Amino acid sequence: MSMSVKATRRSQCLLLTTGLKLMRRQKSTEPLTIVKPSFVPDCEPVDQGDVDLLQSFIDNNRALFVMTGAGISTESGIPDYRSEGVGLYARSTNRPVQYQDFVKSEKIRQRYWARNFVGWPRFSSFPPNISHKILSDWEKKGLVHWLVTQNVDALHFKAGSHNVTELHGSSHRVMCLSCNFKMPRTQLQNLLTELNPSWHAESVDIAPDGDVQLTQEQIEGFKVPACPKCGGNLKPEIVFFGDNVPKDRVNFVFSRLDECEAVLVFSGYRFVSKAFEQKKPIALVNIGNTRADNLANLKISAKCSEVLMKIHI
Ligand SMILES: [Zn+2]
């Protein structure tokens, strides 16, 4: 790489903690208005000097290993978990299900699938945004060798990327916990609809995995189908909190990392740390601070799309 190691640069980022206002009422007599929520943390416009450094990074490195996380999907309307003010944890007391709880408890599986059933039509229809499309285009032009995402929303595939590993699985697939049966999530939606013809609930908020908020009363009576092959319990093919990414998937990603010249990362620590050990050049784009900041040759704190749209290849 011809670019020398640059000091980490950070734009001053304003993280607002005003939270999310779904409803706005200006005068008590006016009807309630739905305000489209933004899940992108506020920050200042990207610094042109940072863009120039990233352009140089891209110009001098081919075969990129790209790693994305929740930050890339917030512009599609999907919140992340942890961003201050706008992430799920800041706005809701809902927390993602733990793997062991899901496996052990029928009640928790019922709650999970009822909420997922309500969230699915909306969650599955989120479109990819300009960042997903640019990375897909970069793959077609030979710049991206492999893309790894922590997201379970399938938006990189929807944008046309092929060389993708979904590190934490996908909400678009369902598996049996007892046998090797798998089915598309859309098929399960049909089964759930057939099993629950008179059950109905709605929710406005949505989590990064398609989860929504329902009361216990709303969940009562919701029926969950068993595996059509063995009668076992069905689970989305997502690596839940408290579970581990399968070892062969991690090794596969390490092999793709070995093949790459440089790393462009939007999220994730484990593979950045490995790339750092291998002395690969690392560029990091993320609003706010991350654990990996001091491993990156270049850190840009700005919106993914704003940065990517300014890069020419
Ligand atoms: Zn089964």
One DSSP character per residue, 263-283 reads EEESS-SHHHHHHHHTT--EE
**pLDDT tens across 78-99, in order?**
877 766 666 666 667 778 899 9
Instruction: Give the pLDDT confidence score for residue 85 in this predicted structure.
Output: 66
Tell me, yes or no, whether 5 lies in a domain: no
Neighbours of ion ligand 1 (CB under 5 A): 176, 178-179, 181, 227, 229-230, 232
In whole angstroms, give the CA distance from residue 290 to residue 69.
12
Range with lowest mean pLDDT among 42-51, 156-165, 250-259, 265-274: 42-51
- Of 2, 3, 139, nearest to 63 (Cα)? 139
- Is the pLDDT at 203 greater than 90? The verdict is no
Tell me, yes or no, whether 15 lies in a domain: no
Cβ proximity of 35 and 22 under 8 Å: yes
Please tell me which residue in 132, 145, 168, 172 is annotated as part of the active site. 168
CATH number at residue 138: 3.40.50.1220
pTM, 2 dp:
0.83
Tokens 């052990």 correspond to 104
**pLDDT tens across 176-189, in order?**
999 999 999 999 99
Tell me, yes or no, whether 143 lies in a domain: yes
3-state SS class at 186: helix
Tell me, yes or no, whether 16 lies in a domain: no
What is the mean predicted confidence (pLDDT) over 150-164? 97
- Of 13, 302, 293, nearest to 131 (Cα)? 302
Tell me, yes or no, whether 237 lies in a domain: yes
Q: By CB neighbour count within 10 A (0-12 exposed, 13-18 middle, 19+ buried), where does 164 fall?
A: buried
Instruction: Give the pLDDT confidence score for residue 1 in this predicted structure.
Output: 41
In whole angstroms, give the CA distance from residue 58 to residue 143.
9
Residue 276: which pLDDT band, with cuts at 50, 70 and 90? Answer: very high
Residue 207: which pLDDT band, with cuts at 50, 70 and 90? Answer: confident
Q: What residue type is 89 in one-letter code?
A: Y
Tell me, yes or no, whether 12 lies in a domain: no
Instruction: Give the pLDDT confidence score for residue 29 in this predicted structure.
Output: 42
Separation of CA 240 and ligand 1 centre (Å): 19
How many domains are contained in the chain?
1
**pLDDT tens across 15-43, in order?**
222 233 333 333 334 444 434 457 777 77
**Domain boundaries, position 147:** 23-308
In whole angstroms, give the CA distance from residue 184 to residue 162.
18
Cβ proximity of 71 and 270 under 8 Å: no
What DSSP designation does 76 have?
Answer: G
Instruction: Give the pLDDT confidence score for residue 88 in this predicted structure.
Output: 67
Could you give the percent of the chain with pLDDT greater than 70?
84
- Is the pLDDT at 268 greater than 90? The verdict is no
Residue predicted with more confidence, 161 or 15:
161
- Is the pLDDT at 64 greater than 90? The verdict is yes
Residue predicted with more confidence, 187 or 267:
187
Separation of CA 208 and ligand 1 centre (Å): 27
Conformational region of residue 23, where left means phi above 0, alpha means psi within -120 to 50, and beta covers everything else: beta
Q: Active-site residue 132, yes or no?
A: no
Tell me, yes or no, whether 8 lies in a domain: no
Separation of CA 207 and ligand 1 centre (Å): 27
Instruction: Give the pLDDT confidence score for residue 91 in this predicted structure.
Output: 66
Tell me, yes or no, whether 11 lies in a domain: no
Tokens 């300014």 correspond to 310
Write out the binding residues for NAD(+): 69-89, 150-153, 286-288, 304
Separation of CA 173 and ligand 1 centre (Å): 14
Tell me the two tokens of residue 126: 């989120």
Cβ proximity of 209 and 154 under 8 Å: no
Separation of CA 226 and ligand 1 centre (Å): 8
What is the mean predicted confidence (pLDDT) over 123-133? 95
- Of 64, 67, 72, nearest to 139 (Cα)? 64
What is the mean predicted confidence (pLDDT) over 224-241? 97
Angle between helices 106-123 and 185-195 (to 10 degrees): 110
